[in-house]
Chains A and B, each alone.
Chain A
Amino acid sequence: MDKKILIITGDNLGLSKEQIDYPDVEILKYPVVVDGKEYRESNEYTAQWLNEKFLKEKVVAKTASIIKGELVEIVEKNKDKYDLIIHVVMSSVMSAATFAIANSVKEMYKNTIPIINIDSRQVMAGVGNVLLGVIDIIKKNNNMDDIVKLSQEVVQNTFSYFVMADLNYLYRGGRIGKAKALMGSVLHIIPILGLMGDDKEGQFVPLGKKRTFKQVNSQIIKLIKAKMAEKPATLIKRLNIVGFGDNKDAFSDLEEKLKTIPCNDFIIGKADFAAAVHCGPKSYTVSMTI
């Protein structure tokens, strides 16, 4: 018998709902607090809106974990309509609270409906890639053990590269990790950070620093090719590239360069409101699953 499966995820996944080829998806919105006032993503409050606020008004922004009540509401609403719920959660290293909430809700409903919490170990486009990878799995297989095992493979084979022109945003959010080594340079540098699915620590790691966006993009291509050689893989299953619209030349340059690498599914994703808090202006990212 086919299982009816609901997928839940948060709205920092680098994808719009239309880009998710699965009907049963619920997306939780992360709260964003700007100068003490809480916002949720909407047509008005977007990543671009926040980046403009950063530049013009020097506002201070932060994110909060998902609200437990909102997750409970989704589960409560759907528990009788589905046989299984899969919650694709942002990296537990980046938000331990969100993952803890997901686990406590799973525990609450353990006698009602099975819930699988998948720690994507990613943020932004990386979460989106894991989500799409999980959807690929459940379209072919609905055995719970298989889903858990195969999803783990997707997580371990998902690698994200971030270009953040100003690391202070990430630093203020407390998520800088080992990339702190790239801060405080006298010379203006553009850092490249990574969230590597096969890295046990799951923190941002410094992958290099360059002086121009063109150099950064060339370096990202080198890093992607090196990762493909290491795995080894000749074809990328999925690439999701996300920018905030304020660094178009650099973004287009990366897009063109990425198109030279064989890839099954090339996505230009959506910039998330919550992600903008930690990335700051002129940032962009690419996530690949191999």
Chain B
Amino acid sequence: MIQTENRTAVIREKIENIYKYLHRHKEYINRLNVFPVPDGDTGLNMTLTIQGALANMQNYEKESISTGEYLKNFAEQMLLNSRGCSGVILSLYCQGIAQVIENNDFSNDNLLKAFENGYKNAYEGTEDPKEGTMLTLMREFKDKYGEIMKEEDDPSVIIKKCIPHLKEVLKKTPDMLLVLKQAGVVDSGGAGFLIILQGINRELKLNGIAVGSLPVSIILNINRATKKYLNGKFANFTKNSIEALLPNIDIAQVHNLRLHNIFEDVKHFINNLQRNGNNFLNKKAIINDLEDMKNSWNPEIKLKYCTEFILETNKISSKEQIKEIIGGYGDSLIILNSGDKYKVHIHTDKPESVFKDVSKYGELIFTKVDDMKKQHKNLISNDTIDYEREKSVFCLVSGKGFADILKNLGADDVFCYGKNKPSVERIVKELNRLKTKNIIVAADDKDILMALKYAASLSKSNVHIVESNNVISLISMVMNISKELDITTTLESVMNSLNDIRFCGIARAVRDTTTENGKKVNKKDFFTIYNGKIILSDKNLATLIINTIKKLVKDESLISIYKGIPAKKDQNLNLIPKLKKSFPDYEFEEYYGGQYQYNYYITFE
């Protein structure tokens, strides 16, 4: 018998391998995503669901639990970490299976019961179940399993034998769901489900299959080019032009079913043209077909936000109650229940209202809002981004020293733009480079804000701008970030902490000016700027800094000096020992900030 830790390690390894197999096909699945909304994230959502569950399983691996119990805990973690429609339905399916095999009985009869219960749980948990989705494949799988089970004892062989049938069912999904047919794809969730089964099959030392597809943008470009070809100046085909077009398209390699059929029609059309000289035969029908296909990838997205949350509550006792509270806000409602936690998925235009209403009944321990319009725009664009991360805290800073400080403090990504403020185009490029669904972004200069707002509208991610205007507030922001928090809570925490650290800047006057009290500041004098006003000035830098600290320090204990590029000339200033002598009750720290405008930033904490 395998020891507990070994056994759980073996199960984990197998699940990890299945996850990796699914992850390798993530992009393929994303590109099939047209239902319920073409937002291109089915593959990502399914992988994130399994990834999240794996990340939370460490504790169970040390306990003396059976395989059935381990899988039950895994299914529960899937529920709590599920993402998007596909992730939620997959979690429901696994929960149903786990409820049966929790007893550690892996006999064929019990497995069939588990698959039946998985399907039932997923079907009943889906608000408006549709045929032609992964639910269909789940049903067909349990039916086929039951059928083959009569002749075969080995579950791994039965699963292997189910796969060809499920491939056929997947191929037929466009006949069951019109929007799939119009877009020329099979169902993305169904494809993901099949890939998971293939992953299981591989883990049972059996064979998998390879899948491939073109990005949606290329399919739409081919669509556009074909239409232009039929409609445009090449409409009056000559034999040569036809010959030039066709050899470049290997129809067998076009996996998009509708485009494949359209090419077949184009081929027949050309053959007819060559034989009969009739260039109008079927042309209109093909163009209509192309138009129809294009439209299916560009539906009107009525509800913008894919919204999810986990509510921990003892005031709600059924899914129906949650449906009553928020059902009116949108569609695609899926509610999962595990103990006193409810995981909810809904498409809505009012995520904030949804959160507000449900939070009256308990604590929201996770929230997520995805802009489906933006994701759809990304899916069909020529430079589609395959999101690799759920969220990122991104800082734009001028000084290299500050860039290092922020990165080490916990900012996920930092762009050091140097002396010249970045253009909109550059910011868009940086935002897209992150390949992240949700980005919290803040810059160290208020002059960047306008460009940042415009760049956010052009980027392919959900961008949440923090309206900061100095680098010290970025430090304050990053100090308060917790990686464990969801995007909404992170944003809230960031906004509340922006002004936590008092600071001033020390710079050198480039022209004559005056302090807030009217005292003259000569060109080349040093001055202190605090809360946007010049409060002190002096010819001597050390004297100015000492006077500044005297004036500004309150009940703080730590004073930090961040040196900028202009302070490079002040090497012999010996500042910190002087300050320690003048202020023995305070601690001083000195860092390189690398800012261009100010010789020093001084913070009081």
The contact of A210 among B59, B479, B591, by CB within 8 Å, is B479
Q: CB-CB < 8 A to A205: which residues of B?
A: 484
The contact of A92 among B60, B62, B558, by CB within 8 Å, is B62
| B557 at the binding interface (Cβ < 8 Å) | yes
Supposing A185-B408, A186-B408, A208-B480 touch, asked if A230 and B363 sit within 8 A by C-beta, the answer is yes
Supposing A184-B408, A211-B605, A214-B557 touch, asked if A189 and B62 sit within 8 A by C-beta, the answer is no
Residues of A within 8 A of B (CB): 92-93, 96, 181, 184-189, 200-202, 205-212, 214-215, 230
Most buried by B among A188, A200, A230: A200
Q: Is B480 within 8 A of A186, CB to CB?
A: no
Q: CB-CB < 8 A to A186: which residues of B?
A: 404-405, 408-409, 591
A-B residue pairs, 3 tightest by C-beta? A200-B59, A186-B408, A201-B59
Q: CB-CB < 8 A to B479: which residues of A?
A: 189, 209-211
Please list 20 pairs of residues, one from A and one from B, whose beta carbons are closer than 8 Å in the complex, sorted by A's number: A93-B59, A181-B483, A185-B405, A185-B408, A186-B409, A186-B591, A187-B475, A188-B589, A189-B409, A200-B56, A200-B59, A201-B56, A202-B59, A206-B482, A206-B483, A210-B479, A211-B605, A212-B556, A212-B557, A230-B363
Beta-carbon contacts of B327-360 to A below 8 Å, as 1s and 0s? 0000000000000000000000000000000000
Most buried by B among A181, A187, A206, A208: A187
Nearest CB of chain A from residue B420's CB, rounded to whole Å: 25
Q: Is A187 within 8 A of B408, CB to CB?
A: yes
| B52 at the binding interface (Cβ < 8 Å) | no
A93 to B59, CA, bound (A): 9
Q: CB-CB < 8 A to B556: which residues of A?
A: 212
Nearest CB of chain B from residue A161's CB, rounded to whole Å: 15
Given contacts A186-B404, A187-B475, A206-B482, 9 further A-B contacts (CB under 8 A): A92-B62, A186-B409, A187-B409, A187-B591, A188-B589, A206-B483, A209-B479, A212-B605, A214-B557
Q: Is A181 within 8 A of B410, CB to CB?
A: yes
Instruction: Across the interface, name the chain B residue whose C-beta is closest to A215.
Output: B605
Those of B226-285 within 8 Å (CB) of chain A = none
Q: CB-CB < 8 A to B475: which residues of A?
A: 187
Q: CB-CB < 8 A to B59: which residues of A?
A: 93, 200-202
Beta-carbon contacts of B386-416 to A below 8 Å, as 1s and 0s? 0000000000000000001100111000000
| B58 at the binding interface (Cβ < 8 Å) | yes
Q: CB-CB < 8 A to A212: which residues of B?
A: 556-558, 605
A231 to B480, CA, bound (A): 23
Supposing A187-B405, A189-B479 touch, asked if A211 and B558 sit within 8 A by C-beta, the answer is yes
Classify the secondary structure of B's interface with A: mixed
Interface residues on chain B, number (Cβ under 8 Å): 24
Those of B53-67 within 8 Å (CB) of chain A = 56, 58-60, 62
Nearest CB of chain A from residue B493's CB, rounded to whole Å: 10
Q: Is B408 within 8 A of A208, CB to CB?
A: no
Nearest CB of chain B from residue A245's CB, rounded to whole Å: 20
Nearest CB of chain A from residue B31's CB, rounded to whole Å: 34
A230 to B405, CA, bound (A): 34
Q: CB-CB < 8 A to B484: which residues of A?
A: 205
A206 to B410, CA, bound (A): 12
A210 to B557, CA, bound (A): 13
Those of B120-154 within 8 Å (CB) of chain A = none
Beta-carbon contacts of B25-69 to A below 8 Å, as 1s and 0s? 000000000000000000000000000000010111010000000
Instruction: Across the interface, name the chain B residue whose C-beta is closest to A230.
Output: B363
A185 to B605, CA, bound (A): 17
Beta-carbon contacts of B470-483 to A below 8 Å, as 1s and 0s? 00000100011011
Q: CB-CB < 8 A to B408: which residues of A?
A: 184-187
Instruction: Across the interface, name the chain A residue whose C-beta is closest to B401.
Output: A186
Q: CB-CB < 8 A to A184: which residues of B?
A: 408
Nearest CB of chain B from residue A19's CB, rounded to whole Å: 31
Q: CB-CB < 8 A to B605: which residues of A?
A: 211-212, 215
Q: CB-CB < 8 A to A202: which residues of B?
A: 59
Q: Is B558 within 8 A of A201, CB to CB?
A: no
Q: CB-CB < 8 A to A189: which residues of B?
A: 409, 479
Q: CB-CB < 8 A to A187: which residues of B?
A: 405, 408-409, 475, 591
A96 to B56, CA, bound (A): 19
Instruction: Across the interface, name the chain B residue whose C-beta is closest to A92.
Output: B62
Q: CB-CB < 8 A to A200: which residues of B?
A: 56, 59-60
Q: CB-CB < 8 A to A207: which residues of B?
A: 482
Q: CB-CB < 8 A to A208: which residues of B?
A: 480, 482
Those of B127-186 within 8 Å (CB) of chain A = none
Q: CB-CB < 8 A to A209: which residues of B?
A: 409, 479
Instruction: Across the interface, name the chain A residue whose C-beta is closest to B480.
Output: A208
Instruction: Across the interface, name the chain B residue whose C-beta is closest to A202.
Output: B59
A201 to B59, CA, bound (A): 5
A230 to B362, CA, bound (A): 10
Nearest CB of chain B from residue A226's CB, rounded to whole Å: 11
A181 to B60, CA, bound (A): 23
Those of B404-444 within 8 Å (CB) of chain A = 404-405, 408-410
Q: CB-CB < 8 A to A92: which residues of B?
A: 62
A135 to B553, CA, bound (A): 50
Q: CB-CB < 8 A to A188: which residues of B?
A: 589
Nearest CB of chain B from residue A176's CB, rounded to whole Å: 14
Instruction: Across the interface, name the chain B residue whose C-beta is closest to A177.
Output: B58
Those of B477-497 within 8 Å (CB) of chain A = 479-480, 482-484
Q: CB-CB < 8 A to A215: which residues of B?
A: 605
Those of B519-571 within 8 Å (CB) of chain A = 556-558, 560
A93 to B61, CA, bound (A): 11
Most buried by A among B60, B363, B408, B483: B408
Q: Is A96 within 8 A of B482, CB to CB?
A: no
Q: CB-CB < 8 A to A214: which residues of B?
A: 557
Nearest CB of chain B from residue A193's CB, rounded to whole Å: 13
Nearest CB of chain A from residue B155's CB, rounded to whole Å: 30
Nearest CB of chain B from residue A190's CB, rounded to whole Å: 10
Nearest CB of chain A from residue B189's CB, rounded to whole Å: 29
Q: CB-CB < 8 A to A201: which residues of B?
A: 56, 58-59
A186 to B62, CA, bound (A): 35
